[in-house]
Amino acid sequence: MSPRPTASGRSARRVAFDVVHAVSTDDAYANLLLPGRLREARLSAADAGFATELTYGTLRRRGFYDAVIERATGRAVDRVDPPVLDVLRLGAHQLLTLGTPPHAAVDESVRLVRQVGSARAAGFVNAALRRVSERDRESWRDELSRGISDPDALLAIRHAHPEWVVRALRAALAAEGREDELDALLAADNAPPRVTLVALPGLADAPDDDRDERTAFSPLGIRAAAGDPAADAGVAAGTRRVQDEGSQLAALALSRVRPARAGERWLDLCAGPGGKAALLAAEARTAGATLTANETVPARAELVRRALAPVDPSLTVRVGDGRSIAHDAAESFDRVLVDAPCTGLGALRRRPEARWRKTVDDVAPLATLQTELLTAALDATAPGGVVAYVTCSPHLAETRDVVDAVLGARDDAVAIDTRAVLAGVTRTPLDLGDRGTAVQLWPHRHASDAMFIQLIERRR
């Protein structure tokens, strides 16, 4: 059941507007901005839940709501003032997904548009949302789908994904012989994820079956209790961290590919904001190894330092382009994580705005960068060492194609059967099919981000 606001729900709507508008106009990230806004507003648990669903739900289905708004008003959304458009999007989500009574959704949206300084648009908002309320979501889907026969275009409307994303996800599933799971994957992208925590080895108590609700696969994962995870004592102390289970498995694939030896040097090449770096550092510390982190953006490097501080505040955080790492440290590291910048198509549950930010034109430049980073990582790895190439995208151009291109261009690196490695790590078996050596996780199958993980050994 969708959360319902209390009588003070107007404050919740304003919080949702502020975050949605910041995402629309300032390229803000909802998952970073919303928690602080909720704390500042001091909302009740019910209103915080309503504000959260209103924010994330509106962002997830933004493209669908924009199409509805255009059809209802006869006006292109780029001709609507941005604050007014965001009020309409929030109103459409209340009407078509949350089941808010039309009089309440319309009246509160009119009140909100006046509150945010667009009083002259009150009549327009009133009329537009009344037209939106004349149909339910299924009827609007049918209306928008009329005359369209392309299956990917129809799925894009039904599940509020850009068509190019639908096509990319179809291709990625087809590579595993599971194209028939596309509808389930797209639906999972629109389902709010459970928050998961990782217990950092040596700092936090290991997850306990009697005390904790454990994750299905990660031996260090815990499903967070409802509410703000920042209230968790371990999270506040930095000994437990909010981290998707897929990210945990990506780090553990590298740290547990083989027993670590004292004195080993590990590197997180693209470390910001520091979640995987903290887990790797904790894993390294238990074996007498050390982690170096690299981050190209100074502000993100500071986040990495904060993440590493509970493990060891003296760990080195290098600020620089990861592609140049081998110039300073050729063949220096025993294990290297390349958590490469990507389209983020695997994290659409948690980053709902991402699907509308990237375009198909972003893929090729990112693939070039990913290829260069993986090449640099291998050059910085000592013979016999291991690189983990990881993306939070299942797009084939960012995953298999990058690995194939890099391995095809050199004779000193070979893919490791990453599936077999994780089979020795996870609490229960992963359903991965039987194609290739990489691991591709999926939201609909593993309840995690769609992480791609390929381990590679640098040959002697």
Domains of the chain with CATH codes: 9-138 (1.10.940.10), 196-458 (3.40.50.150)
Q: Is residue 5's pLDDT more than 80? A: no
102-115 vs 122-132: helix crossing angle, rounded to 10: 150
Q: Is 136 annotated as a binding residue?
A: no
% pLDDT > 70, the chain: 98
Q: Could you read off the pLDDT of 7-52 as tens digits, one per residue?
A: 445 699 999 999 999 999 999 999 989 999 999 999 998 999 999 9
pLDDT digits (tens, 9 = 90+) for 140-172: 999 999 999 999 999 999 999 999 999 999 999
Mean pLDDT of 113-126: 95
SS3 call for 214? strand
Q: pLDDT by residue (tens digit) across 425-450?
A: 999 999 997 679 999 999 999 999 99
* pLDDT surpasses 80 at 248: yes
Flag whether 271 is marked binding.
yes
The DSSP call for residue 179 is G
Please report the pLDDT score of residue 275 as a whole number: 97
Residues carrying an active site annotation = 392
CB 187 within 8 A of CB 176: no
Report residue 208's pLDDT band, with 50, 70 and 90 as the boundaries: confident
Decide if 69 contacts 128 (C-beta within 8 A): yes
Nearest in space to 440 (alpha carbons), one of 398, 381, 378, 386: 398
Give, in order, the Cα–Cα distances in Å from 439 to each of 128, 159, 375, 454.
Answer: 47, 26, 20, 6
What pLDDT, on a 0 to 100 scale, did the predictor assign at position 7? 44
Q: Is the pLDDT of residue 190 over 60?
A: yes
Q: Is the peptide bond before 273 cis (omega within 30 degrees of 0)?
A: yes
Encode burial over 198-236: b for 16+ CB neighbours within 10 A, e otherwise.
bbbbebbeebeeeebebbebbbbbbbbeeeebeebebbe
Q: Which two tokens stand for residue 213?
A: 């609700």
Is 234 assigned to a binding site?
no
> Looking at 162-226, which runs of residues are DSSP E strands?
196-199, 221-223
How far, in Å, CA of 387 to CA of 378, rounded?
7
pLDDT at 328 over 70: yes
Q: What is the pLDDT of residue 226?
A: 82
Q: Which residue in the block uniquely carries the two structure tokens 């995987």?
A: 276
* 342 in a labelled binding site: no
Q: What is the mean pLDDT of the chain?
A: 95
SS3 296: coil
Q: Is 353 annotated as a binding residue?
A: no
Which of 220-229, 257-266, 328-337 ranks highest by mean pLDDT? 257-266
pLDDT at 376: 98
Mean pLDDT of 360-375: 99
pLDDT in tens, 85-103: 999 999 999 999 999 999 9
Neighbouring C-beta atoms of residue 48, cutoff 10 Å: 24
- pLDDT on residue 4: 58
Q: Quote the DSSP letter at residue 86.
A: H
Q: What percent of the chain has pLDDT over 90?
A: 91
pLDDT of residue 330: 87
Give CA–CA dist 317/106, Å, rounded: 51
Helix residue ranges, H only, 219-324: 233-237, 245-255, 275-287, 298-308
The answer to whether the annotation marks 321 as part of a ligand binding site is yes
Max mean pLDDT among 28-42, 219-233, 264-278 falls in 264-278
Known binding residue 275? Answer is yes
CB distance 375 to 406 below 8 Å = yes
Sheet holding 221-223, edge to edge: 221-223, 196-199, 240-242
